[in-house]
Structure 1
Amino acid sequence: MERELFSKNIILFYFITLFGGLAFIYDLILVIYYQSFGLSFFQISIVLILTSIFTLIFEIPTGAFADLYGKKKSLLIGSFAFLLSFLIVLFSQNFLSFIIAGSVLGISFAFNSGADSALIYDSLKKIGRKKDYLKIKARLSVIFLTTTLFSVFFGPYLYSINKFIPIFLTGAFGFFSFMFTLFLYETKKLSK
């Protein structure tokens, strides 16, 4: 039974990656979206830099969190933070609220960073397919890059129709990714 659950993780990661890539529909339009609310290029740079800084600052603590409390929990928190950041973006209209959204997005990236790869590796190891790790990761990379390319291509077009469409779609795709993450399986951590 446990073997089936770990096998299912691999399939779930295909869907998580698919919707995660589609969620990048916001990527190219974020700067013009911020500009539409009166942010200067300097302010936009601050928001984007803070996103990267928060990712960097939280990289090690969130990795420790994943090791101590579980990779699935880390992925769930990261997915939830991603959704929260875009909910904040959706209702933001000033520099400070965009800073908060960017900071939450950076934290979300940190919680997801490495936890996905580690859970894939652990799952493959549990079902005796450890040697397939690089092949699975390559497939996931192709899915992510293909869906991201699709998203980046259509994001600006959808923005030209209505600036909120890419933000709504980012939230929707992020939500689907979160829902698939809920079904991941990980053995319980032993308390120390």
Structure 2
Amino acid sequence: MADTARLESNIRKMYLFRFFQNFQFWWPIWVLYLTDLRGFSFTQVAVIEGLFFVSMMVVQIPAGVFADRVGRKPVLVVGVLINAAVVFAFGTVDSFWPLFVTYLLWAWGMAIPMSADTALIYDTLRQLKREDEFQRVSGKYNAVFNLAILASLLTGAPLAAAIGLDVAIQISAIASLVAAGVALTLHEPDYKTGIFVSRSVIGFLKDTFAAARSSPGMPFLLGLYGFLTIGTMVTGVFFQPFLSGHGVALGDVGYLQAPARVMAVIGALTAVWFSARLGENRFLFAVAASMSAGFFVLGVWNSLGAFFMFLFINMGSAMALPVILDMLNRRIGSDQRATIMSAALISNALLASAFAPLLGTIADAHSLSVGFLIGGFVIAAGSGLLLAGFVLSSRHEAGVGGVREPKAAAGRPP
């Protein structure tokens, strides 16, 4: 009974962890900090953002292996402590190369907890025999993420206007320290049930990716994760210069970014409802189509009024995330969960590492509008092909003439 109560408290604590991990005053201002205070060009910002995702890829798989072999809890603690240190350093150093190095290390602080958190949540629910609630819990977890960013957007830009861009970034480290304290109180679920914990790291990785390939739809889902979650990167990097380019003052940029996070919260909380009614495959097709349409509208309508499209792009990413995570988790074993989830995160990082410099270079050479048009074609083509591949592989796996819909998560809409 005591263990059950401690496990149940994990879910509440993970919501709290997620909030403080992402309550960061730099959210609405970090691009402006680099361009306006540190003198970066937009191309430089986009290139280091691409390298940021490369840096994430370097640490992603080792962090997942460590989480599967040693525990999810220590990975969460280490990740947010690294984040606290590098965020403070990022707001303090004032020349290109120190900023460049701290930015790449910042990627480690963000990447290290990213597979361990969902693995801990899923295994907690599995041990409580509540796996069918994962989509709903994951949706709420993503909603908390967006609520934290919403709070940051509403407070970060006015705070930066009052005390300075650099100081606002420096004090963001405090919330990461609070998140580390929350993580220390988590109860590690029992997940070491397979043979993999006693294998070498190389053997572990080989067996993990062999397991991923054994499910015909898994490679398509891993790639799809990257394409349908890219909207978060786009709103994070290109929303600020879009607003600034249309004459929005520093103190107001957070307010105009806030509605995108409100829509993301709504999307995260309603994803399970729409997925259950449309079926997972049709739901993901609809999300991909709406995100692509948002890019196309931004490409042809060069007006401040087009900022509404960022709302729908961000909402699409937020809706896709819990559904794809659930589809992946149902196909993998507990003792490989964090490692394979790291592979999903790498697909996002790989796409973002190419996407950010591409849009940034096009924006400097031509305009953001041209970059958005090209981005829309990339998202439409990539997600469309991957979804088609997943549907065909599912049909083949089922051995029937129609499309096999994976079982939707049970439970009422949140």
Same-fold call, TM > 0.5? yes
Whole-angstrom distance in 2 between the partners of 1:165 and 1:129: 44
Aligned-pair CA distance for 1:4: 2.0
Cα distance between partner residues in 2 of 1:2 and 1:146? 30
Any conservation in 2 of the 1:84–1:104 contact (CA below 8 Å)? no
Deviation at 1:27, TM superposition (A): 2.0
The code of the aligned residue for 1:27 comes to W
Opposite residue 175 of structure 1, the aligned amino acid is L
CA contact (8 A) 2:26 2:156 kept: yes
Deviation sequence 1:40-73 (CA, Å, 0-9, x none): 3343333322211111222222211211111112
> Is 1:102 matched up with 2:98?
no
User: What residue identity is the alignment partner of 2:82?
Assistant: A
1:179 maps to a residue whose letter is: G
Shift of residue 158, structure 1, vs aligned partner: 1.3
Q: Per the alignment, in what secondary structure is the counterpart of residue 39 of structure 1?
A: coil
Report the equivalent of 1:28: 28
TM-score scaled by length of structure 2: 0.43
Find the counterpart in structure 2 of residue 177 from structure 1. Answer: 179
Distance 1:187 1:146 in 2: 27
Identity percentage of aligned residues:
23
Q: Match for residue 116 of structure 2?
A: 115
Q: 2:169 aligns with which of 167, 170, 180?
A: 167
Bigger drift between 142-151 and 36-45 goes to 36-45
The equivalent residue for 2:140 is: 139
Q: Please name the residue that 1:64 is paired with.
A: 65
CA displacement 1:90-139 (0-9 Å, x = unmatched): 32111111112111111122211221000011111222322222221111
Quote the residue 1:11 is aligned against: 12
Q: What displacement does 1:187 show? A: 5.0
Distance in 1 separating the partners of 2:94 and 2:67: 34
What SS does structure 1 have at the residue aligned with 2:187?
Answer: coil
Q: Which amino acid aligns with 2:155?
A: F
Larger Rg: 2
For the residue of structure 1 that corresponds to 2:64, the secondary structure is helix
CA contact (8 A) 1:26 1:170 kept: yes
- Contact kept, 8 Å, 2:7 with 2:128, in 1: the verdict is yes
Normalised to the residue count of structure 1, the TM-score between the two structures is 0.88
Residue aligned with 1:114, SS: helix
Higher deviation after alignment, 157-166 or 93-102: 157-166
| AA at the equivalent of 2:133 | D
Contact 1:22/1:147 (<8 A) preserved: yes
Q: Which region of structure 1 is more displaced relative to structure 2, 55-64 or 37-46?
A: 37-46
1-structure distance, mates of 2:189, 2:122: 13
The residue identity in structure 2 corresponding to 1:120 is I
Q: CA deviation at 1:15?
A: 0.6
Please tell me the root mean square deviation across aligned C-alpha atoms, in Å: 2.1
In the aligned structure 1, how far is the partner of 2:167 from the partner of 2:106?
19
Higher relative contact order (CA 8 A, sep 6+): 1
Q: Could you tell me how far 1:166 is from its partner in structure 2?
A: 2.6
C-alpha distance in structure 1 between counterparts of 2:17 and 2:184, whole Å? 10
5+ residue gaps, structure 2, are: 199-414
- 33-42 or 139-148, which moves further after superposition? 33-42
Q: Post-superposition shift, 1:21?
A: 2.9
Contact 2:79 2:111 in 1 (8 A): yes
Q: Distance in 2 between matches of 1:76 and 1:176?
A: 10
Higher mean displacement: 45-54 or 11-20: 45-54
SS at match of 2:31: helix
Contact 2:73/2:183 (8 A) holds in 1: yes
Secondary structure in structure 2 of the residue aligned to 1:186:
coil
Distance 2:170 2:90 in 1: 10
